[in-house]
Amino acid sequence: MSRIGRLPIDIPAGVTVSVDGQDVTVTGPKGELALSVAKPIEVKVEENQVLVSRPDDERESRSLHGLTRTLINNNIIGVTQGYTKGLEVVGTGYRVAQKGTAVEFALGFSHPVLVEAPAGITLTVEGNNKLTVSGISKQAVGEAAANIRKIRKPEPYKGKGVRYAGEVVRRKAGKSGK
């Protein structure tokens, strides 16, 4: 039996979870998230708790059991607290600036790079080298942060580029002169 899948999810005050067949909708103070559950998995709401169960011990059912429970839990956390991901811009002359809802990066290219915030995501700039990506969907926040990091990944010689907050970049020695 899945150790994670069988754990009940407590529903906090101010959050409603509605199940309609295979569709689970979580509504809270920060917004609403929907999830479509894969076929063999069943979701029930009983006494302020969400219970996820599987009908059999088939390989597919076992693999989806814990995943479904975690996705529902992530949605509940998202509509109550939200998710944030920090990014740092490292390098001489590299900086980030807020332009309305968009963010403008100077990353050593011949032109500034303008990044629009996806739907449901807010981009906030702190100083000229820190950026925070926040929203209610854990998947959307992670994807937006990864797409921004992809513009200029940290390189291994000087460590210049866009990195996650707290990310450790492995450094290489470079040329050894005589």
Task: Assign 176 a pLDDT band (cuts: 50, 70, 90).
Answer: confident
Residues 73 and 100 in one domain: no
51, β-bridge pairs: 44
Task: Assign 3 a pLDDT band (cuts: 50, 70, 90).
Answer: confident
Task: Assign 1 a pLDDT band (cuts: 50, 70, 90).
Answer: low
8 A C-beta contact, residue 68 and residue 52: yes
**Residue 170 maps to a domain:** no
Last residue of some domain: 34, 55, 79?
A: 79
Residues 6 and 52 in one domain: yes
Q: 18-32, pLDDT tens digit by residue?
A: 999 999 999 999 999
**Residue 71 maps to a domain:** yes
Q: What is the pTM of this model?
A: 0.90
Residues 52 and 101 in one domain: no
Residues 7 and 53 in one domain: yes
Residues 61 and 92 in one domain: no
Q: Residue 130: give the domain boundaries.
A: 82-162
Q: What dihedral do alpha carbons 145, 151, 154, 159 form, nearest 10°?
A: -120
Task: Assign 174 a pLDDT band (cuts: 50, 70, 90).
Answer: confident
- Mean pLDDT for 150-169 is 94
**What is the side-by-side strand order in the sheet with 31-36?**
16-20, 23-28, 31-36
Task: Please determine, for residue 177, whether its predicted confidence score (pLDDT) is greater than 90.
Answer: no
Helix (H) or strand (E) holding 33: strand 31-36
Choice between 6 and 1, residue whose per-residue pLDDT is larger: 6
Q: 80-133, pLDDT tens digit by residue?
A: 999 999 999 999 999 999 998 899 999 999 999 999 999 999 999 999 999 999
Residues 87 and 121 in one domain: yes
